[in-house]
Amino acid sequence: MVFSTSELMQKYSNYADAKGKIRRLVCEGKLIPVTRGLYEDDAGTDPAYLAPWIYGPSYISFDYVLYIHGLIPEAVYVLTSATFNKKKTKIFRNRFGTYMYHDIPKLAFPHCVRAEIKGNYSYQIATCEKALCDKLYTIAPVRNMKEFRNLLFDDLRLDESDFWSLNVEDIEFLAPLYHSTNLNFLNRLIKRGK
């Protein structure tokens, strides 16, 4: 379970040195620093559960979602999340892993994201369609449809059969919200079909 420093200070308020108690618990491995002012008391916690606590508002997206749904073949070792109005990419490292946060347009941020609740943890995660749109938004724009197909199926190595089984309506709704050349090509490709 995630605890803030203030929650821990209250929890250990009966100790003469509550801060010292927290430091000792960290040294003993009973509390694990997640980010400044936040601690986790279970070393076995799924790293995805901690993503929204580290930097937010955010939801899990990009390569991480594409990988867990089998759209890209490469294993992903960085937990990638989307944010908005942050103006830069942020990276955090802790004992649970590496977390990367990228901005996407505010208009696109709230759509096609679902809440996951696992025990005492809750986080938000993008659908496959949203993760693909988020990913394409962060890539330098291509010049034509041929380059775009190469980007999808050669560079990103998306599984083509999985790509064509994505929800077309979601992509048609999402793509214009990004105001991005790559997303315009995605929308055109989806409308055109195989």
Share of the chain above pLDDT 70, in %: 99
User: Is the domain of 34 the same as that of 53?
Assistant: no
The 10s digit of each residue's pLDDT in 148-165 is 999 999 999 999 999 999
Q: What is the mean pLDDT of residues 78-90?
A: 95
User: Is the domain of 92 the same as that of 183?
Assistant: yes
The 10s digit of each residue's pLDDT in 11-20 is 999 999 999 9
The 10s digit of each residue's pLDDT in 157-191 is 999 999 999 999 999 999 999 999 999 999 999 98
Q: What is the mean pLDDT of the chain?
A: 95
Q: What is the mean pLDDT of residues 128-156?
A: 97
Q: Supply 167's token pair.
A: 């929800």
Predicted structure pTM score:
0.92
Beta strand spans in 51-188 (E): 59-60, 78-83, 90-94, 97-103, 113-118, 121-126
User: Is the domain of 30 the same as that of 79?
Assistant: no
User: Is the domain of 170 the same as that of 76?
Assistant: yes
User: Is the domain of 28 the same as that of 59?
Assistant: no
User: Is the domain of 133 the same as that of 182?
Assistant: yes
What is d(CA 132, CA 157) in angstroms, rounded to the nearest whole number? Answer: 12
Asked whether the predicted pLDDT for residue 194 surpasses 60, the reply is no
Domain limits at 35? Answer: 2-40
91 CB-near residues (< 8 Å, 6+ apart): 98, 99, 100, 101
Asked whether the predicted pLDDT for residue 120 surpasses 90, the reply is no
Asked whether the predicted pLDDT for residue 60 surpasses 60, the reply is yes
Q: Which residues pair with 71 in a beta bridge?
A: none
